[in-house]
């Protein structure tokens, strides 16, 4: 099987090694990965900030960058969920784009969903001998709709002990531009998230979302707390 890979902005700019690990695990699962180096952003930041015209221009480029009728794997449910749920609305007055929008929305799939539900591939023979807790990102849980998939993948990692996070459906305070516009509220939310993670005795907070992990990691580092963050792709690539 050949897939197209979309690497979100946060991973591309701040966690490039995670992007390479996504390729590594997809190839381990028997997939041929195609990466278009001309790809940029899906347009979500401007859309969420209310700049729909600007977002539409970025989305038009996305449609052109992914012209194939095959899976578009994305290691971020926020981007995948945004494309699936909001591209149709973004282009509802542009019927000439409907065919491309329908094709892309049909093919976009989040990484753990693709591995578990499409490939039926859950065991990478990875080894990560640490206690971890899993952060359910709002976009992953509510907009895209994944919950069990990441946990099933983690359950097959040798040496990994998963400890459920108290109040795990509560936001970490990132929310895109929310963390910039409402700093005190965002800080209080991420503090609560990290305190809950520490209460589990976990060494790592794992998530499918690099954006959430960036927010959480910044609070951890600023306060010199004894816990780390890691993307699920980086865990699964430890083979």
Q: What's the CA dihedral at 24, 165, 8, 150 to 10 degrees?
A: 40
pLDDT for the residue numbered 181: 75
pLDDT for the residue numbered 13: 94
CATH architecture under which domain 131-236 falls? 3-Layer(aba) Sandwich (3.40)
pLDDT for the residue numbered 179: 72
pLDDT for the residue numbered 219: 95
pLDDT for the residue numbered 91: 97
Low-confidence ranges of the chain (pLDDT < 50): none
pLDDT for the residue numbered 223: 97
pLDDT for the residue numbered 132: 98
Q: In 10 A of CB 73, how many CB atoms? A: 25
pLDDT for the residue numbered 93: 95
The full set of domain ranges for the chain reads 2-118, 131-236
pLDDT for the residue numbered 210: 95
CA distances from 133 to 75, 154, 205, 221 (A): 19, 10, 5, 18
Residue whose C-alpha is closest to residue 94's, from 44, 55, 66, 42: 55
């Amino acid at each position: 099987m050949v897939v197209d890979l979309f690497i979100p902005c946060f991973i591309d700019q701040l966690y490039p090694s995670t992007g390479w690990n996504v390729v590594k695990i997809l190839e381990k699962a028997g997939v041929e990965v195609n990466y278009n180096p001309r790809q940029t952003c899906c347009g979500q930041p401007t859309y969420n900030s209310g700049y729909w015209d600007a977002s539409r221009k970025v989305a038009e480029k996305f449609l052109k960058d992914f012209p194939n009728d095959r899976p578009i794997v994305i290691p971020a449910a926020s981007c995948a969920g945004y494309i699936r749920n909001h591209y149709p609305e973004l282009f509802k007055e542009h019927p000439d784009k409907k065919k491309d929008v329908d094709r892309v929305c049909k093919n976009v799939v989040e990484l753990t969903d693709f591995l578990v539900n499409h490939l039926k591939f859950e065991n990478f023979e990875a080894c990560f001998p640490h206690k971890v807790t899993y952060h359910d990102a709002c976009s992953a849980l509510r907009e895209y709709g994944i919950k069990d998939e990441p946990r099933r993948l983690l359950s097959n990692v040798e040496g990994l002990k998963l400890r459920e996070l108290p109040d795990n459906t509560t936001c970490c305070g990132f929310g895109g531009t929310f963390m910039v516009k409402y700093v005190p509220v965002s800080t209080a939310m991420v503090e609560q998230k990290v305190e809950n993670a520490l209460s589990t005795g976990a060494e790592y907070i794992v998530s499918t979302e690099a954006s959430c992990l960036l927010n959480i990691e910044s609070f951890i580092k600023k306060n010199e707390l004894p816990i780390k963050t890691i993307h699920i792709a980086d865990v699964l690539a430890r083979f």
